[in-house]
Amino acid sequence: MAKSLADAVNMEIRSTVPCRKDFVFTVTPDILTKESARALQRVAMAVNVPGFRRGKAPEYILRKQYGQEIESELKRLLIYTAYEKIEASAPGEMLNCNLEKDLDIKTDADTVFTMIADIAPEFEVGDYKNVKVDVPVEEVTEAQVDERVNFYRTMYANYADIKDAAKAGDMLKVNYKGDFALPEDASASLKRQIAAEDGYLWLSEPEIIPGAIAALTGAAAGDERTFEAAYAADYRETALAGKTVKYTVKVNGVQRKKDLTDEELCSKTQTSSMEEFRKMLRSALENEAKGKRHAALADKIYEALDKSVPAFELPPAILASETSRELRKIANQEVKNEADADAFKRDADKHNKAAAEAAKKSLRRTFILRKIAQQEKITVDASEVNAQISSMSRYYGYKPNELKNMLMKTGGMGELELDMINGKVMDFLAGLQA
């Protein structure tokens, strides 16, 4: 059936802008009448109508009761047939293909609908394997080791109760509650974000509650303070994203770190002496320097590639989507209150231009790296994605499945996989310099 329908459906290919093709389909009423009858028969054989044997119910009853199902089946068939014809036409590498608008089936005239496809740009990346760049090896100094020792001395320091007013870096024992109405299916992490008894708030970045440092600096045990927390539009808890929550915080106590002695530091780090500890830190710093050099090599190689690859057109729908995403990023950085929002609107043209330029640069990079990934057969599999999600979940304080579901709901899985592939390509490029 699909083959006969494909033969009967007319397809016209139009290409009005680069990297996009419009596939216009026309179906005559007689073809739809035949397909409608077949769809009706399939529905008749699938349902039970009281008083009639399966498949023997009158057409008028079936159309009255199952008209929507029959139309949905017709639409499914037409769209499936359209995809078949598009793929057979070999239009190039399709990045996406969607209906221009909802399919409107007609019975007294031709049914016409359009599928719009973004097509990957065609270009050559050149001889990327022989691009040579130079990034000097960074030598680790004693001053850097000293700085790292002090970092761990502070990090492992014990907190002790103090009577002084709180300052940056202190830890507060608190009860807090926000005025946000929790949904019935609120996760445990969302509940903890809104209210806690005998909890802790650190007056350091990253803030657990936005604005807590400014609001609670100077507070002492017994104080109660109220402040508004403005959550970013891309906040990890989607229920709070873009929201402003009013918090009331009761400070039960203030604690401050007391730096460790050499003996205490060695005990915390399970080293036998400061000499051994410093040796361990030097090795870690040297590995970090290698990692930085590796990343710098990849960046320089890409810069050279970017200059050598001629300009190419970008798919319009994907470019529009990326421009919107870049504009949201700018808004998240610029808009913190109503005054910022007004200023952002006044400078709309400037921000739109900046977003468009950033989107073009980002997409060009994506397509260049994507081309290399295709040529080198660089991919990511499900196990690698799951491992990355597991690592991210530990950082954000979620269970892996919770984070995965959030990414799937917000469309973040595609971005995550793309970032992972881009990262592997950049590692590959840096490795060419070895």
How do the domains of the chain map onto residue ranges? 2-119, 158-258, 276-431
Strand 20-27 relative to strand 10-14: parallel, antiparallel, unpaired? antiparallel
pTM of the predicted model as reported, rounded to 2 decimal places: 0.66
Q: What's the pLDDT at 362?
A: 93
Among candidate residues 421, 431, 146, the one with its CA nearest the CA of residue 293: 431
Q: Which helix (H) or strand (E) holds 314?
A: none
Among candidate residues 177, 159, 178, 168, the one with its CA nearest the CA of residue 253: 159
Other CB atoms closer than 10 Å to residue 299's CB: what's the count? 15
**β-sheet bridge partners, residue 228:** 246
Q: Which CATH superfamily is domain 276-431 in?
A: Trigger factor, C-terminal domain (1.10.3120.10)
The angle, 0 to 180 degrees and rounded to 10, between the axes of the packed helices 400-410 and 412-431 is 100
178 exposure class (CB count in 10 Å sphere: 0-12, 13-18, 19+): buried
415 Cβ contact partners less than 8 Å away, ≥ 6 residues apart: none
Sign of the C-alpha dihedral, residues 160, 161, 164, 170?
positive
The angle, 0 to 180 degrees and rounded to 10, between the axes of the packed helices 142-155 and 274-308 is 110
Contact in structure between 298 and 434 (CB atoms under 8 Å): no
Between CA 212 and CA 32 the distance in angstroms is 64
Class of domain 158-258: alpha beta
Q: What's the pLDDT at 1?
A: 42
Sign of the C-alpha dihedral, residues 115, 116, 118, 119?
positive
Among candidate residues 156, 161, 154, 249, the one with its CA nearest the CA of residue 208: 249
Among candidate residues 143, 86, 79, 134, the one with its CA nearest the CA of residue 111: 79
The tens place of each residue's pLDDT in the chain, 434 residues long, gives 444 688 888 999 998 889 999 999 999 988 888 888 888 888 888 888 888 888 788 888 888 888 888 888 888 989 999 999 998 887 788 888 889 888 888 878 899 999 999 999 999 998 999 888 888 988 999 999 999 999 999 888 888 899 999 999 899 999 999 999 999 889 999 999 999 999 999 999 989 999 999 999 999 999 999 999 999 988 888 899 999 999 999 999 999 988 889 999 999 999 999 999 999 999 999 999 999 999 899 999 999 999 999 999 999 999 999 999 999 999 988 887 788 888 999 999 999 999 999 999 999 999 999 999 999 999 999 999 889 888 888 877 788 888 888 888 877 888 889 899 999 999 999 888 76
The CATH code for residues 2-119 is 3.30.70.1050
Among candidate residues 203, 208, 193, 194, the one with its CA nearest the CA of residue 172: 203
Q: What's the pLDDT at 6?
A: 80
Q: What's the pLDDT at 203?
A: 94
Amino acid at 252: N
Among candidate residues 291, 267, 272, the one with its CA nearest the CA of residue 152: 267
Other CB atoms closer than 10 Å to residue 345's CB: what's the count? 10
Backbone angles phi, psi at 125, to 5 degrees: -90, -5
Q: What's the pLDDT at 4?
A: 64
69 Cβ contact partners less than 8 Å away, ≥ 6 residues apart: 43
Q: What's the pLDDT at 398?
A: 80
- HSE-CB of 194 using CA atoms within 13 angstroms: 18
Backbone angles phi, psi at 422, to 5 degrees: -60, -40
Backbone angles phi, psi at 242, to 5 degrees: 80, 0
Between CA 298 and CA 301 the distance in angstroms is 5
**β-sheet bridge partners, residue 111:** 27
Amino acid at 196: A
Q: What token pair was written down for 203?
A: 């007056």
**β-sheet bridge partners, residue 178:** 247
Q: Where are the beta strands (DSSP E) in 190-323?
A: 195-202, 224-230, 244-258
Between CA 322 and CA 306 the distance in angstroms is 19
Between CA 195 and CA 197 the distance in angstroms is 7
Q: What token pair was written down for 366?
A: 């994506």
Q: What token pair was written down for 345?
A: 């609107």
Peptide bond just before 121 cis, omega within 30 deg:
no
